[in-house]
Structure 1
Amino acid sequence: MFETLGLFFGSLLDALIGPNLVVPGEPFMISAGYQLYSGAYLAVFAVLLGGLIGDQLSFLIGRRYGFRAQKSLLRWQPKIRRPLARCRLLINRSAFWVIAFARLLGPIAWVVPFMAGANHIRWSKFSAYALIGLALGVGQFVTWGFLLAAGVDNMPILGEAATFVSEHKYTLGLTLVSLALLYFGIKKQWRYSWLKASSLFLAGALALNYSHFFWWSDDAVVPLTQTENIEVNLAELDYKVYAGQSTLYAAQALNVVYLGESPVKLMDELGWIQNKTFSRSDIELADYVSLLQQSTPPVSDLLWNGQPQHFAFQLPGTLTHRSHIRWWYAGIDAQTKQPVWVGALSYDDGLKLTPYGGIVTVLHSISPDVDVEREQLKTDVFRLNDRWNAENIQLASVTKNNSQHDYFTDGHVLVVSEQASYVNNLQPSESIAFITMNTQS
């Protein structure tokens, strides 16, 4: 009870004109958020109520004594006449923005309720705007307190969001600059302000696209090394890939596994064409145009475990419609001791504007029914000869096409190898353990 009263009075004094010059409210609000993590909702109510009463008292004090206080202040400091006049003009012209967002502007929040009262802002208007400001101002520190109590490591979405923002920093910067140009253009009554701002954004977006694909794509790419011999279990692999470093991107499917030294031999026998990739091939603009003319454009990068594909292949097709697959080296299978390659097999079906790798660009639209391509590859493998084996195993989860995924699937993954059936090739105890683990996953 005493702790809750302390939070209330701390928040009250932080909002009350006079005491708020020396009493900081942030520790009380952060403390309320810290207690909220343990279920103490009363703590949050206490700081909100204290802030509400403090704002109202400051407003009433300003309404009753504000004019005399300003006259006394002007006799003492005549030089502040112009700043006070500007303050009155601003708070009357833009009452909503000033009152609602004052708590986000540091020391300005100390005097805004008082000045609103002194300038005879209507009480109902002030109360409505101040409630919004109270929710924003108190809410930010309560949130920080909650996160401190929870621990950022227990909330991975924050790390993903930070990664997403960091990856898009240039696009976000370009957007802000373009909006700023538009704002000043309208304010200064420039002709064609919209056209100028739009042209700047388009030129910047094109520059970012060129830089991404032809300059930055090979940054921090780890070379393919199979000497590490990291053991992996097929049932424990992540069967999703993304168009950037963050999992906030819509996922695409990993739906093929190849067991053997390299999938290149299998692809060659099936008649697939090896593509160049922006991350692992030295591609200039002239090379890109030449590959477009051959209907074998370079493959844009997808990331699995933070790394782009090691190989990419396509079947003969058009620029906008083709089957293609990307391969990543995953390690050594802990059960069969063979190298493991995971593949993302899908079908390009037209073009679309999409966020990708920190930019916005035009890429192929992926057909969401990835199981169709998987089954076609299985049929093609069986047609080769008896040396190859292909079987569907439930390694991934059943997935619907939604905001988190660009595809839907029954969760089966095609496992291809030059030896016998993958499950049959295990020792009896290994086979039972694998099937049990696979069922649980």
Structure 2
Amino acid sequence: MGHLLEGILRLPPWIALALVFLLPALEASAFVGVILPGEIGVILGGVLANQHKLPLAAVLVAGILGAVIGDSIGYWVGKRYGETILSKIPNRILKPEHIKRSEESIRQFGGKAVFIGRFTAALRALVPGMAGMSHIRYGRFLAWNVLGGAVWATAFVILGYLAGSQYKQIEHYANYIGLGLLVAIGAFLFLRHRRAKKTATQPSS
């Protein structure tokens, strides 16, 4: 993996930018994420921006578009061909427990599972297709997809930008970082909701 990452960093800038888009785009649309996590592309995009080989804004746009478009394709592929595709992927590549976790997330959270799944590699590749198979309304799916894709891509691009040459440490712990980010978002929303509820119940003077 290390040689692959170093090779990407040595690519011509326009090819590297294309990979920043393609790796997250292929993650869910073609189930590539079960082998190669898409955050690798956006982290390296941030590193290249740190090295002044790519504009930071271009990397952010490419990463966000790749995440959102890829998940949307994954949704429609899952809706049309999901059962057939899953039955043909070997268990050594796509673990049954990951499929089970994805199904449970969809049942428990509905459209919100698209946002939640964005922050773990195993769910990120599967949840969009599972959402299509579960016939979640596309408008609802898209809203959570855009929100999750924007937060996820921005976070990992910025992490790569700040890490610079130390990017391998982030790449190694990317899944834990994603989970930590999700917990932080959940805690923030919970505290905000609690504060708003407390304010609403206070008697006005």
TM-score tier, shorter chain, comes to: 0.5 to 0.7
| CA distance in 1 between partners of 2:37 and 2:85 (Å) | 23
* AA matched with 1:63: K
> Residue 149 of structure 2 corresponds to which residue in structure 1?
134
TM-score, length basis structure 1: 0.29
Q: Which one has a larger percent helix, Structure 1 or Structure 2?
A: 2
The reply to whether residue 52 of structure 1 matches residue 65 of structure 2 is no
Q: Which of these two proteins has the greater Rg computed from alpha carbons?
A: 1
The alpha carbon displacement at 1:110 in A equals 1.3
What is the rounded CA distance, in whole Å, between the counterparts of 1:139 and 1:117 in structure 2?
Answer: 25
- Corresponding position of 1:28: 41
| Contact 1:63–1:117 under 8 Å retained in 2 | yes
Aligned to 1:276: none
CA distance in 2, matches of 1:36, 1:67: 40
The alpha carbon displacement at 1:36 in A equals: 3.7
Corresponding residue number in structure 2 for 1:122: 137
1:94 pairs, out of 96, 109, 112, with 109
Cα RMSD for the two superposed structures: 3.1
Compared CA separation, residues 91 and 150, structure 1 to 2 (3 A): same
Alignment partner of 2:25 out of 9, 12, 15: 12
Question: Which has the larger strand fraction?
Answer: 1
Asked if the contact 1:36/1:44 (under 8 Å) is kept, the reply is no
Mapped to 1, the partners of 2:35 and 2:131 lie a distance apart of 21
Cα distance, 1:40–1:141 mapped onto 2, change above 3 Å: closer
Query: Aligned pair in 2 of structure 1 residues 112, 146: CA closer, same or farther (>3 Å)?
Result: same
The TM-score, its normalising length taken from structure 2, stands at 0.59
Other-structure match for 1:325: none
- Residue by residue over 1:257-279, the C-alpha shift from the partner in whole angstroms, topping out at 9 and shown as x without a partner, is xxxxxxxxxxxxxxxxxxxxxxx
Change (3 A) 1:127 1:64: same
Q: Counterpart of 2:16 in structure 1: which amino acid?
A: E
Give 1:146's match in structure 2, choosing from 140, 146, 161: 161
Equivalent in the alignment of 1:41: 57
The answer to whether 1:61 aligns with 2:80 is no
What secondary structure sits across from 1:134 in the alignment? helix
Q: Indicate the percent of aligned positions where both proteins have the same amino acid.
A: 26
Q: 1:68, CA displacement in angstroms?
A: 4.4
Secondary structure class of the residue paired with 2:136: coil
Amino acid at match of 2:22: F
**Match for 1:25: what amino acid?**
G
Letter paired with 2:156: F
* Matched residue type, 2:164: A
SS state at 2:126 partner? helix
Structure 1 residues 116 and 149, CA, compared in 2 at 3 Å: closer, same or farther? same
CA displacement at 1:4 relative to structure 2: 1.5
* Structure 1 unaligned spans of 5+: 152-175, 180-441
**Which residue identity lines up with residue 52 of structure 1 in the other structure?**
V
Flag the 1:90–1:103 CA change in 2: closer, same or farther, 3 A: closer
Shift of 1:90: 4.2
**How many aligned residue pairs are there?**
145
Query: Could you say if the C-alpha distance between residues 11 and 88 of structure 1 is closer, same or farther in structure 2, counting changes exceeding 3 Å?
Result: closer
Alpha-carbon offset, residue 69 of structure 1: 4.8
TM-superposed CA distance for 1:88, in Å, is 4.3
Q: 1:124 to 1:34 in 2, by over 3 A?
A: same
CA apart distance, 1:14: 2.5
**Offset at 1:107?**
1.0
Shift of 1:24: 2.4
Structure 2 residue identity aligned to 1:56? S
Structure 2 unaligned segments of length 5 or more: list them.
Answer: 1-13, 167-186, 191-205
Answer yes or no: is 1:109 the counterpart of 2:124: yes
Q: CA deviation at 1:114?
A: 0.6
